[in-house]
């Protein structure tokens, strides 16, 4: 016991922080002032070490959080880039289809216009033929005075009807 009052050894360690060990030794002569002073200094530094340890742990925690957030963002970026590439390919294919369909539409339109033109020309030709045949029929009707001529006109009319019936 005497030895403890003459000399006091204080060992302080913090668990898992590896900050270190604090040892104080005091003599009997200045035991009162020095001990209280050392205790104040020790308390101050221990509080400061605790604060710094807490700040370090908070900083480490934030760093881990930011690191995981960066990894998540990198994954999202990779997925977005792949999606952009896929969509870009789809747009390219769609544009090729649009071009192909526009070409087909142009070709079909030209074909229909050509067919319509040919049909219009044919219809005009048929109308001219019909008009000429009607004029001939009218001329024959007016010019005929006898039954023989009427039979001839009827024969011509029947012929015209046959031509019109088979052509139309």
pTM over 0.75: no
Is residue 137 a contact partner of residue 153, using CB atoms and an 8 Å limit?
yes
In the predicted model, what is the mean pLDDT of residues 106-113? 95
The domain spans of the chain are 2-167
Residue whose entry in the numeric block shows the structure tokens 């040919």: 118
In the predicted model, what is the mean pLDDT of residues 143-162? 64
pLDDT at 162: 74
C-alpha separations of 166 from 20, 150, 160, 161 in Å: 118, 24, 10, 8
pLDDT confidence band for 35 (50 / 70 / 90): confident
pLDDT confidence band for 151 (50 / 70 / 90): low
Contacts of 13 (CB under 8 A, 6+ apart): 20, 21
- Give dist(CA 160, CA 152) in Å, integer: 12
Region for residue 16 given its phi and psi (left: phi exceeds 0; alpha: psi -120 to 50; beta: otherwise): left
pLDDT at 31: 61
Structure tokens at 9: 């050894």
Structure tokens at 166: 């088979």
Structure tokens at 102: 């526009």
Distance from the first to the final alpha carbon of the chain: 139
pLDDT confidence band for 138 (50 / 70 / 90): confident
pLDDT confidence band for 167 (50 / 70 / 90): low
pLDDT at 5: 39
């Amino acid at each position: 016991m005497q030895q403890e009052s003459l000399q006091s050894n204080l060992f302080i360690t913090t668990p898992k922080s590896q900050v270190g060990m604090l040892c104080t030794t005091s003599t009997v002569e200045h035991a009162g002032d020095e001990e209280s002073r050392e205790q104040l200094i020790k308390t101050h530094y221990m509080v400061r070490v605790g604060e710094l340890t807490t700040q370090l742990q908070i900083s480490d925690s934030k760093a881990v959080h930011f690191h995981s957030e960066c990894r998540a963002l990198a994954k999202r970026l990779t997925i977005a880039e792949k999606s952009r590439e896929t969509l870009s390919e789809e747009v390219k294919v769609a544009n090729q289809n649009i071009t192909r369909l526009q070409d087909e539409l142009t070709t079909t339109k030209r074909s229909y216009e050509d067919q319509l033109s040919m049909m219009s020309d044919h219809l005009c030709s048929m109308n001219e033929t019909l008009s000429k045949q009607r004029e001939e029929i009218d001329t024959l009707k007016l010019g005929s005075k006898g039954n023989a001529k009427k039979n001839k006109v009827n024969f011509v009319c029947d012929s015209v009807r046959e031509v019109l019936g088979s052509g139309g």
